[in-house]
Each structure stands twice: as C-alpha cells, then as structure tokens.
Structure 1
C-alpha cells in the first residue's frame, strides 16, 4: 500500500535569493535518490518559505523493487581448467557473490553471477535516505552554529519527517525528526502537530503560513494589482522582485504608501531604484507609463497595525528620496565631460590601468566597429563622443550610492550637460544587455560601444588568466559574450570577431607572442556562446556542428547559415548531397593540395565533375555575395550526381601519383566550396 512522504526542514530565515536554487536542488536530489533506490512514487513537489523548505512525495511504494544484476567475474580461461572444472578463481568469485559455483553463467567469454537483491521495506530505508537528501544540498553561503561541525544555509530548528502517519526517525545537526512544525514566527498559536501530509497545508494556513510559493505569488500579484487600480494606476511588477518578495514572506499582506509629489522631478529611474532595489517596493504608474507618487509594499503578516507599518515605510522611502535628490542636485553642478579625468583615479583591473585608460580603448575600438558597420562621419563622431563619456557617471554621487543607475544617470547627466540626445542614448545603451532577457542596444553608436566595452572586458580578463570555469564566472564574462552575440544577431551586423578581438588585444598592449594563444581561447569561448544561441533556436546538434565547422568569425553569418541548412534539411536533394560530400570529404583528407591540373583529368566522369565544380563555384560565389545560403546549398546539391558518377567510374587512388593527387585535389576543392556554408559531411541523415 502506498503512502506519502512529508519532509520539512525548519530554519532561521533563509535569504530570499537562495530559495529558488534550494528548491530546484531539493527536487532534483530527491527524485534522483528515490529512483536510484528503486522506490516508486506518483508525484513529487517542493515548497519553501523564509523559514522552511519542504518535500512532499505522493504515492510512495511500501517496498523497493527487486533488482537482478549480472556481476562480471573472471574470463572463462581463468575460471575453468582444461577439463572444464571450476578453478579456485571461479570458486572464490562465486563465494564472494553468495552463490554456488555451479550457478555461474558464461557470457561473452566471462563468467557472471546473477544476483537477485530483494527489495527492502521503504520505512526501513527512509531514515537513511532523507538525511542524505538534505545534507547534499549546496548553498551560496553556509553558516556554522553552536559547537557542531555541520555547516548549513541557516541553523536548523526543527524537522518534520512523516511516512504516512508514522515519524521517520533520524537527526540532522542534533535536531531530532518529529511530526511537530511551527507556524508564523509572530502570528502562530505555537507548536503544531501534523498527523499526515494531508493535514500539512491546512494546519499551517491556520497558523498564518502559506507554504506553497505559487499560492503566495498569486496572492501577492492579485493584492498588488488591486491596490494599484484603486490608486488610479497600474502596478509595475518586476518579475524578479516578485520572486524575491514571495520568499521574503510567509503570510503576505500588501499595503499602499505615498511620497511627496515634489520628488517626481527626479529622473524616474532615480525614484524606482531606491523603491525596488533597496526597499522591495512595487512602483505604480499611470496608463501613460508615468510614475505616480504611490508605492506598494508587502508585509509578512496580517492587517493589524497596518497604518503604523505604512507610516514606517513612508518615512524610510522619504529619507531615500531626499538623499537621491541631494545627490542629483550636487551632480548637476559638474558637466559630465568634466568628470572624465576623475576616471584616472579608479583602477580597472590589476595591471591593466585605470577606467580612463579603458575609456580610451573603448573609444578606439568602438570607432573601428562603427566604421566597419558603414557609419557616416557624423555617426562616427557621435560614437567617439559617447565612448569618451560612457564611464563618467561612475564618479557621480548618485551612482556611487545607487550603483544600479550606472548608464541611466550617464544619459541624464549627458542631456543636462548639453550633449546630443544620440550621444546620451549611446551612453545609456552601452551597458545593455545587463542580464538575461534585458533590452538590447538599438542605436548604432550604442551597439558599437556596447560591443567594444564587453570585448575589452573579455580580452582584458582572459589576458590575466581569469577564464570562466564550471560555475565560476566572477566577472560575468559568459553573460557579456552572450550580450555581444545577441546584439550582433539582432542588429544583423556582419563583423569579424577575429579582427575586433585582435584589435582589443593590441590596444591592451598584449604582445604578438601572447595574442595568438589568447585569440584561440576567446574564439573557443565564443564558439560555446553561439552554440548555445543556436541550440535555443532548436537547431539540430548536427546542423550546429556542421555550420560551426565552417567557422564562426562572422557571428550573424553563422546564424544565417544554420537557419538556411535547417530550412532544407530532410529534403531529397540535401540527403543526396550529404552522402556525396561525406564520401568526397573522407578521401579529401588525404589531399596535400587543392590545386587542380585540368590536363591530368583523363576520364569522362572526372572531366564532367570538374566542369560542374567550376560552374557551381561561380554560382556559389554569386550567392555568397548576397548571402543567399539556401541558394548556395541548392547549387552545391547539383554536385551530388556528378560526384556519385565520378566514384562509380574513377579509381581515385590511382597508382600514378600525379593522377592520384590531382583527383584528391579535385575532391578537396569541392569540399572546400561547401565549407562556405557548412561541413555537409557532419550532417546526419534522418
């Protein structure tokens, strides 16, 4: 008979940003362990609040599934003597497996012991399994408490562990499991006994705890949206902030506060940032998107003393906004351009100069990129001016206090200093994208500076040997590289990755002897990023491999080629081309040259193939000029039939070395032509 497992670990308050990761791990670890232990179940869910995380497994079997395994022993030459009698090696192996030597099975030249393991009762296994699931969790930061050796995200205060209505006995960090949980820290009636998993949610709800985070998220969203409507506006709900608030409260109650309208004279982001980033408030905007003098916060509790809570939050925000206004007024006294020299006092990275030095590099690299993209002289000048000003807001009081406003305040101060709107926009855009899913820069100047800034960061950091490994990426280089890739693709820019990386290395003063190795490392780094982008487009793995084998120097071009191959994959003419080019490619590897001597083409089939190759090469060249890769692939497929006829009629590996090498050169030339799009031999026929 199946039963349910309920496991709850009660702790001191866990940082909200840790909780999504904890629950993801808990779910994965629990599933993996139960499957590994051959314990059947029908459903598994995880839940979390600031003071607890819980595992609920429904329909858990009463016994493990039986297991039969074939344990490999010695070879038959060692297991049996010449007369066929089992040797001491066979007897010892059988004895170690707990079976009679006559029960050994011979298979593939070895003896095997077929051992059946009878499943154990699940209630006997759970005291061993559950502690391991908990202690296997990893956290961004751990705590050590008391005189215990154990380190955990926060001190453990209670453990609920039930299988059906029976307590699963074990202890973690000196805390014994039981059926007793706790409700809201301040609103609960006291300790709560749980008789079964079915009681868990209801009893905690009675004690002011909404255990299910999806329920809390829904309640918070509905409350916040309703209050905003009542205030004549729309709640500006940032999903990341909502996720954080969900794990800050166990019993959410949203409430509205106000601030003086005079603060609306500040740049909108200068108000929203203290609200959102520092106070975890939701702003309210009008139907036109303008900020209203209203905020919404969520308390961890009920509606008692709600006015006192409101007044307290209003006082805190008023102080924040007063500081912001002071910083803003002080910053306006100095033009943004006059702050650039102060960047000389801020170190960029050890051994790589100051932010002023970085600004000079970004300027030169961004101008090069803008020129490569066909910018006119006016746009080049805008790009250069914005690049010089790009980091100047880092020495303002506002950004020093609210670092999230970098770029945003740069734009505001640039406009206040009389800079062109296009320059101010580029100053802001060069930080984009700041995170996954963020907006991309839209102006040419903004894109050029964004790419230049991020390339400079990547090359500089790689030059110090600080290459991202595993989960370690302290400088967020993967995110920056992905930002470059997405910016280039969205803008449909054709840029040489090799050229801009080499130029960045040159501007950093990296020697030629070091730059080759560095370029290869960065090139491989970008290969993985573009591979991820193509995978996200659900492009087949073999198509990705085939296209990337033809190079990724032009990132947007790589995407176009992958999309073109995807568009024709599976068609009859491409299927034939795959077969033909795979065969040609296998032999072409033996070619030492791709220089063809037409006079050595003696047989009709090879002369026909050569002529078709010349015609195809010309057509491919014309299609490549307009980047019509579908047409290139169609033209290449026309070579499939003459390639097949060539192999049917011609002995490639002729005994005459000159003839042999000439035929190999022909095949190599053909495969190289295909490499303008993809290595067709890497495509898998389906």
Structure 2
C-alpha cells in the first residue's frame, strides 16, 4: 500500500428506504464495500469500517485507505514444456502466443522457468500486476456492493435525462465519495460523486451540506443536518429517551426489538413524546391494544410494575417543535379509531360463543390434501385423547383436553383474529372465559400454539401441554405424510419450529412420553389420507434435537454418541449427555471407546446374526476367560444403575473393563479356525458391545 493513505467516506443518498430492511441494507452496503477494498489491497485488515444507515442514506467510513494499491507479483502458468519449447530448447509459436495473450512480448520467453505441474513439467513466468488506483478500486467495490444488496423489492425509475431507466431499492439522488478531503471520481446509478448531501427534511440548518472531509461527515450531519447517521447511535438514543420518559411516570416501555429496529429506521433525529388514550379502552384485552398500537402506529405502550397495560404510550417523533402539543394531540387522535375498532371487534365477538363457531371451521380450507380446519380439529382431538391415554391421565384431564382441542381453532373465525392473526389462541382464551369455561380449558386454548418461537414459554397446565403436543403432531404427521417436507430455507408450514416445540415439551415437561409411541398414536387419525411418515419424521425431529443440543454447548461427538441410540424418551437425553461427558473425562475412556469401535467393526463384518451369548466351556484363552469374568461382574451393576436412571454411575462401572478388554485384543484371535470357538468369541464381544452401549454409542467418542 502506498504512503498516500487517508480515511474514506462513501454515502449514497436516496429516498426513504424500507424500514424493516434498513439495518440489513446498511450493514451489507458497508460490509461489501470494505471487504472489496481490502481484497484489492486498497485497505488492510486493520482498517476500521463504520457503517451508517438512516432513512435516506447508506454510508461507510473506512480508515487507512490508500490512493493506490501496491504493485504485486503474480505467477502465471504458460504451457507444458513439451508444447512451449522445441527440441533445441527454443520457444515455440504456442509459447509466444500464450505470452501475447497475457500482454507480454516474445522476448520475455527467456524469463519463463520450469516447474512440475502434476506429473509433467510446465513453464511459468513471474509478472508484476499494477496496483489499482482508488478510483478504479472504489468503482469496482461500489458496483459489487450494490449488486449484493439484500433488496426486498426492486424499483424501476427514470434518470434526469428522461431516457435511461435504473433499477434500485429506491430512487437515488446523491453520491459522496471523499478520500480525506478529496473527491474520488466514481459513479453509480446515473450519479457522479461529489461532496454534497442533504440533512433532515425539515430541520436541517442548510438545504445542502458540503462535507469537508471523510472524518467530518457524522459531526456535520448531526450539527448542520439534524441527522444521527449511525443506526446504532440512533437506536441507543431512542432507548435512552424511551426509558427516561417512562421513568418520569413510574412506568416502563414494552420490550420489542423488532419495533425498536423499525422505528429507528423511520426517524433521523428521534424525539420521544408522551401521549395517552381514554382509560375506558383498557376494558379490551391488553394484547389487542398493545398489538394495534405497535403494528399500526409504531407506538410504545407503557406498562406498570406488574406488567399491566396503562393508558399511557410513547411516540418516537422525527421532529422537535418548540410546542409538541400538536404532535402529541395528533397521535392521540390517530390512535383513538384504532382502539375503537379493537373494542368493537371484542364486543362483537363475544356475542357468539366459541362452541357456536366450531361448525364454521368445516368451510375453512386447511390444506388441499388434508381437508378443512374442521377435519383438522377432529384429528387433533383424536391425537390428544391418545396422548392422555399414554399419560394415564384422569377423566377430568381427558374432559378438559377434549373440550380445549374442540374449541382451540374456533377463534380463527372471530373478527379480532381476522384483523390480528397474531392473537389466535390468545383471544380464544378470553372468549372461553366469557363463555363460562374453566380456567384449565381457557389456558389450554390460549397456550396450544406454544412454544411459538425459540425461548417462548411452554403451556402452563397439563391440558395445554397435551393439546399443544397434539396440534404440533397433527401438523408434522399430516404434512410429512403427504410429502410436504421443508426444502433448504423454505419451510412455509414452520415444521422446524413445530418439531422443536415437540422436542422442548417432551424434554422439559413430559418425561413419561416416548416419541415413537406418539407418532404411532397420531397415524390412525388420518386414515387413508397419508402414507406412514414415521421414519423420516423421527429423523427430522432428531436432527432438530441435535442442532438444539449443539447450540446449548454440547460437542458434536457427545450429541452423536447419545442420539445414535435414538432414545425415545427425550427427557433422558440431558442426563445421558452429562454421563457421556463425565465418562469421556475418565482415563480409561479413550481406550474403551476405541475398543468399542473395533468391536462394532468386527460384528458388522459377520454375515450371520451374532447372539449375545457365551458358553463358559468354550473359553480357552486366559484373556477371554478374564474378560468374561469381568463382564459377568460389571454388567449387572451397570445395568441396574442404567435402569434407575443413574447413567453416569453406569458408565463409570465400565471403566473396570479396560484391562480385560485390552488383554483380550492383545492375546485372543477372534476369527479362530474352529467355528464353535469363533462363534463363542463373537458372542462374548456382542455381549460386551451391548453392555457398553446402553447409555450411548461409545464408539462415537473414539478419535
């Protein structure tokens, strides 16, 4: 890199960018630009990249950027020696043509040297490649950055010449490119780089900001343009103002990362203002009010210390008038019709009971091959009944489960859920209470979609757990049964999320239920509609479980060792993993794991099935006698501990087998010529293999 090094600033000034995509657009624009400049040798790994993204701009500040990249030496392969040189060692026409294609003259043939290329010799030459100028490199980097932007939807617009069309996320109106104080002559989207940009639409001190240097950009935008260019700084400012405004009233703003990111992408200089609505609206379920304020208005509702909604809310404004009453009054007027709609929906919905809506589900299509929501409800009821039987549940539980399963989807036909699909289940719980149903049934209806996302809470009661399991199993078995599997990133029915929900419920709340038995119990509900998907569905669930366990910090070896045995009671998996980790720390572990792997390989090569059976009379060698005796002593202890769930202790007992196992492989020929001896020794190894692999497949721990 040359000594003419300065900091670089690149800004693309555009019309308002899509708020939900702004952060990704900003990170991508800056990230690809910086990486491209580094790759071209114009910046180094130490060059600090700072991304800027506001509603009307994407920008990058990159430190330590050279005016020209250093020249670099490059090795070029020419042609095989047999092609490039004649019998007297002189260059052939083929070599001269190859040199010409690289921009080199025939006289440079003398600089070619021989080197092995695979099994034959070839001719190579060292060339010097001139380093790119910043103008060349930045032009390339800009084009690459724009091509790679994760644009949600492309716009097509006309340039000022009235002829040319450009496709981009939003119409672009300005380009700034400064290397220190100097303009870098580049252009994209019909724009030529300069040093002028614009600040806040309404509150900038000047109409056009003249950026003095790369390093003055952020400060000039803040001071002259009334814009906080950094997404992260703007977000932090919003959080600070929200917390301060809420604290003044002894309240706290609702936590919603997605809302915070979206609001940050809507304002250039945030100004948080306090507003309120009429207290009578609080008679509507708070989930409805919170959702309508967040989704429709981008407001931050305020909660009291108990987490209950108040009639206060915060607005993040993009302007700072001396008198903010017009702004707060306008927002209060705007939210009132939204809350009135929510109240109207709630009042209207309660005029018809959930039970009266169930019949209407027969007219709602669930899936072309799986029928209506009404048919789906009947399948969920049947699966839920089977789960209660597996749990050995009481008659009371069976009645609660059946009632909840029958009514759980009825709120899909309500006005409130029609307006806000996110409230499905939640509204069913409220309407169930209004209909006089028990809290157990109301909770089960409300919770049957849980867990809705990673980290979400599980259903609160046993009835809710059963209905949630039945609902997810119906989805998984049904869609796998018609071949509707997720592919790549596409998972329109959220089957991965459903599978993880099943994993969590079986692991954390239902230790007595086995996965294979649950899948089998779900099959009869579908009749001839589906093919049996048990095997691929089980694989899918175990794949999700494996991924979840690795995210929790277990190693791939530990997870593979435990899940190789496909333990059907997922609640045991955590204990098994802990036991495997403790076993792996024992000094005997590596040797036993290697022996276990060796035994597995030996048994795989045997063409006929091997019985885990040993005839004491056929034990001839001392080493095999000692192993059989050690196994006879250890196996009952290990098995007993396994059956009581003491997995770590069960594996510890196996440590005593290390010596006898090592001696056996050192001194005994397994494949003896005598068929009876060979079969007996294989039976001994089979017995040992089964004893060692009750908790996990220990061979997976072998290096």
**SS of structure 1 residue aligned to 2:271:** strand
Cα pair distance change 1:181/1:671, threshold 3 Å: farther
**SS of structure 1 residue aligned to 2:366:** coil
| Greater displacement, 81-90 / 225-234 | 81-90
Cα pair distance change 1:655/1:54, threshold 3 Å: farther
After TM superposition, give the deviation of residue 655 of structure 1 in Å. Answer: 3.0
After TM superposition, give the deviation of residue 353 of structure 1 in Å. Answer: 1.2
TM-score by length of 1: 0.91
Q: Which residue of 2 aligns with 1:569?
A: 584
* From 113, 116, 120, the counterpart of 1:106: 116
| In 2: Cα distance, 1:95 partner to 1:103 partner | 17
CA contact (8 A) 1:492 1:556 kept: yes
> In the TM superposition, what whole-angstrom CA distance separates every residue of 1:168-207 from its partner, at most 9, and x where no partner exists?
3333332333322221223233222223221111111121
After TM superposition, give the deviation of residue 267 of structure 1 in Å. Answer: 1.6
| Greater displacement, 388-397 / 520-529 | 520-529
Q: Which residue of 1 aligns with 2:209?
A: 192
**SS of structure 2 residue aligned to 1:528:** helix
Cα pair distance change 1:520/1:86, threshold 3 Å: farther
CA contact (8 A) 2:611 2:683 kept: yes
Q: Which residue of 1 aligns with 2:253?
A: 235
After TM superposition, give the deviation of residue 405 of structure 1 in Å. Answer: 1.5
Matched, 1:338 2:356: yes
| In 1: Cα distance, 2:30 partner to 2:680 partner | 62
| In 1: Cα distance, 2:110 partner to 2:679 partner | 65
| In 2: Cα distance, 1:106 partner to 1:87 partner | 19
| In 2: Cα distance, 1:304 partner to 1:105 partner | 78
| In 2: Cα distance, 1:400 partner to 1:654 partner | 75
> In the TM superposition, what whole-angstrom CA distance separates every residue of 1:3-41 from its partner, at most 9, and x where no partner exists?
222222222222221123323434553454345434414
Task: Note the residue ranges of structure 1 that are not aligned, 5 or more in a row.
Answer: none
Equivalence map 1:265-276=2 (5 Å)? 265-276=283-294
CA contact (8 A) 2:81 2:114 kept: no
**SS of structure 1 residue aligned to 2:453:** coil
CA contact (8 A) 1:63 1:119 kept: no
CA contact (8 A) 2:111 2:125 kept: no
**SS of structure 1 residue aligned to 2:193:** strand
* From 160, 172, 193, the counterpart of 2:188: 172
CA contact (8 A) 1:568 1:574 kept: yes
Equivalence map 1:13-162=2 (5 Å)? 13-26=16-29, 28-30=31-33, 32-38=35-41, 39-40=43-44, 41-64=46-69, 100=110, 102-106=112-116, 109-111=119-121, 113=124, 115=126, 117-118=128-129, 120-123=131-134, 124-146=136-158, 151-162=167-178
Cα pair distance change 1:294/1:604, threshold 3 Å: same
CA contact (8 A) 2:10 2:177 kept: yes
After TM superposition, give the deviation of residue 463 of structure 1 in Å. Answer: 3.7
After TM superposition, give the deviation of residue 375 of structure 1 in Å. Answer: 3.2
| In 2: Cα distance, 1:658 partner to 1:90 partner | 72
Matched, 1:482 2:500: yes
| In 2: Cα distance, 1:410 partner to 1:340 partner | 12
After TM superposition, give the deviation of residue 282 of structure 1 in Å. Answer: 1.0
| In 2: Cα distance, 1:148 partner to 1:443 partner | 64
Cα pair distance change 1:6/1:523, threshold 3 Å: farther
> In the TM superposition, what whole-angstrom CA distance separates every residue of 1:329-360 from its partner, at most 9, and x where no partner exists?
12112222222112112111112111111111
Larger radius of gyration: 2
> In the TM superposition, what whole-angstrom CA distance separates every residue of 1:430-479 from its partner, at most 9, and x where no partner exists?
11222333222232222222222122223333344432222222222222
| In 1: Cα distance, 2:694 partner to 2:630 partner | 17
After TM superposition, give the deviation of residue 255 of structure 1 in Å. Answer: 0.9
Matched, 1:521 2:526: no
Q: Which residue of 2 aligns with 1:586?
A: 601
| In 1: Cα distance, 2:512 partner to 2:451 partner | 19
TM-score by length of 2: 0.89
RMSD: 3.0
| In 1: Cα distance, 2:567 partner to 2:120 partner | 49
**SS of structure 2 residue aligned to 1:632:** helix
Matched, 1:289 2:307: yes
Aligned length: 682
Equivalence map 1:249-398=2 (5 Å)? 249-304=267-322, 306-398=324-416
> In the TM superposition, what whole-angstrom CA distance separates every residue of 1:200-254 from its partner, at most 9, and x where no partner exists?
1111112121111121112111222222222342222322221221112111111
| In 1: Cα distance, 2:191 partner to 2:34 partner | 24
**SS of structure 2 residue aligned to 1:46:** strand
Q: Which residue of 2 aligns with 1:221?
A: 239
Cα pair distance change 1:61/1:171, threshold 3 Å: closer
**SS of structure 2 residue aligned to 1:509:** helix
**SS of structure 2 residue aligned to 1:461:** helix
Matched, 1:473 2:491: yes
After TM superposition, give the deviation of residue 72 of structure 1 in Å. Answer: 6.5
